[in-house]
């Protein structure tokens, strides 16, 4: 019951967040300069006034902004993100058609950054002032200082042109024949450069965080007790110390997921990955307003789901968080016991 109450509160917070995103996103796009009808007319080489009025009516541009906002919220509540007249498809269908490469790229980058960063930080904490720890510090400083788009361009130059090891763009080789593992290996080669580009800065962050937390945990009393009992050093570090050190790392995972989705557009644009981020970037210059609104809302929804999962896992990993939901019922039980004793 305590877990369900936690999930219920987080779902309520996520719904309020999505509502705020809808209102802010809709208002800013409507207040931005430019007219979608004029853009469509320019691409068609001209349009008569009657057709322009019909398009304005279909886009609800003849109504006030508050009325347009209420209509849009009602459509979103029924799962309708709008219709893209540039592609002649519903926005939701366009997003679902591009979500596969984005999900693969984001989650592979997330796993790579968490595993590599935590491993580097844990190994560096064993010899805090040793050569490996200093090397990790240098790598993390480079990762923090290098923009995503610049790193992507450098990797393209190095591993696609100078040393042609990885493909330059796309997600798969057109016309490739073979079984599942052949195709999976081909997708892995295509996604290697954008995955490393997107995760490099977060590898640096997780490495620094894991090293600082592990240094603090290794000085705790229970670690000294475990060593005094004669436990192997490997068991002390990887079984006892690392579990407590993962709690702050899990908290940062939920925050960094939003940043990963924020950087996905630039990464997909650099490597021409046919994902949701590139779809939104391509929709901005042509004033494809429904697609931009739907793409941003989809990213906000994904962030809310990941933050919900992170909160639940955080309560599962940390016993202190779980105990907070158990202790709330403790005063009632104590009051009942005290009442029985007084009788």
39 inside domain: no
H/E element, 226: helix 221-228
Segments in the chain below pLDDT 50: 329-330, 332-338, 343
Residues 277/267, Cβ–Cβ less than 8 Å: yes
Residues 124/136, Cβ–Cβ less than 8 Å: yes
Of the candidates 232, 8, 203, the residue with the CA atom closest to the CA atom of residue 124: 203
What the block records as the tokens of 306 is 């990941």
Place of tokens 């009808």: 37
Rounded Cα–Cα distance for residues 151 and 263 (Å): 12
Residues 6/312, Cβ–Cβ less than 8 Å: yes
What confidence score (pLDDT) does residue 334 get?
Answer: 45
119 inside domain: yes
- Number of structural domains found in the chain: 1
237 inside domain: yes
204 inside domain: yes
Cβ atoms within 10 A of the Cβ of 75, count?
14
Residues 125/220, Cβ–Cβ less than 8 Å: no
19 inside domain: no
Query: Which CATH number covers residue 146?
Result: 1.10.3720.10
Residues 325/5, Cβ–Cβ less than 8 Å: yes
126 inside domain: yes
Sign, Cα dihedral of 241, 244, 248, 251: positive
187 inside domain: yes
Q: What domain range includes position 222? A: 97-304
What confidence score (pLDDT) does residue 322 get?
Answer: 57
What confidence score (pLDDT) does residue 340 get?
Answer: 52
Backbone angle region of 36, left / alpha / beta, with phi > 0 → left and psi within -120 to 50 → alpha = alpha
The DSSP call for residue 183 is H
50 inside domain: no
What confidence score (pLDDT) does residue 329 get?
Answer: 47
């Amino acid at each position: 019951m305590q877990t369900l109450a936690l999930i219920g509160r987080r779902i309520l917070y996520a719904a309020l967040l999505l509502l705020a995103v809808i209102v802010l996103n809709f208002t800013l796009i409507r207040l931005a300069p430019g007219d979608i009808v004029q853009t469509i007319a320019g691409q068609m080489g001209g349009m008569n006034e009657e057709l322009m009025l019909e398009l304005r009516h279909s886009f609800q541009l003849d109504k006030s902004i508050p009325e347009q906002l209420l209509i849009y919220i009602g459509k979103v509540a029924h799962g309708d993100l709008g219709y893209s007249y540039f592609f002649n498809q519903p926005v939701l269908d366009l997003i679902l058609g591009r979500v596969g490469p984005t999900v693969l790229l984001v989650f592979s980058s997330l796993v790579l950054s968490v595993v590599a960063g935590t491993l580097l930080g844990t190994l560096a904490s064993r010899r805090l002032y040793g050569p490996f720890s200093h090397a990790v510090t240098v790598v993390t400083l480079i990762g923090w200082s290098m923009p995503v788009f610049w790193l992507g361009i450098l990797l393209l130059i190095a591993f696609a042109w100078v040393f042609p090891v990885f493909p330059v763009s796309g997600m798969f080789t057109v016309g490739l024949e073979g079984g599942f593992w052949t195709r999976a290996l081909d997708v892995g080669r295509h996604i290697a450069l954008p995955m490393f580009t997107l995760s490099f800065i977060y590898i640096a962050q997780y490495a620094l965080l894991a090293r600082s937390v592990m240094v603090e945990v290794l000085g705790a009393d229970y670690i000294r007790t475990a060593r005094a009992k004669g436990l192997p050093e490997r068991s002390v570090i990887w079984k006892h110390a690392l579990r407590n050190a993962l709690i702050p790392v899990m908290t940062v995972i939920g925050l960094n997921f939003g940043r990963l989705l924020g950087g996905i557009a630039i990464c997909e644009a650099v490597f021409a990955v046919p994902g949701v981020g590139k779809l939104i970037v391509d929709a901005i210059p042509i004033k494809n307003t429904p697609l931009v609104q739907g793409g941003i809302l989809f990213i906000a929804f994904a962030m809310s789901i990941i933050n919900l999962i992170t909160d639940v896992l955080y309560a599962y990993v940390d016993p202190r968080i779980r105990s907070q939901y158990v202790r709330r019922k403790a005063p009632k039980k104590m009051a009942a016991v005290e009442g029985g004793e007084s009788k």
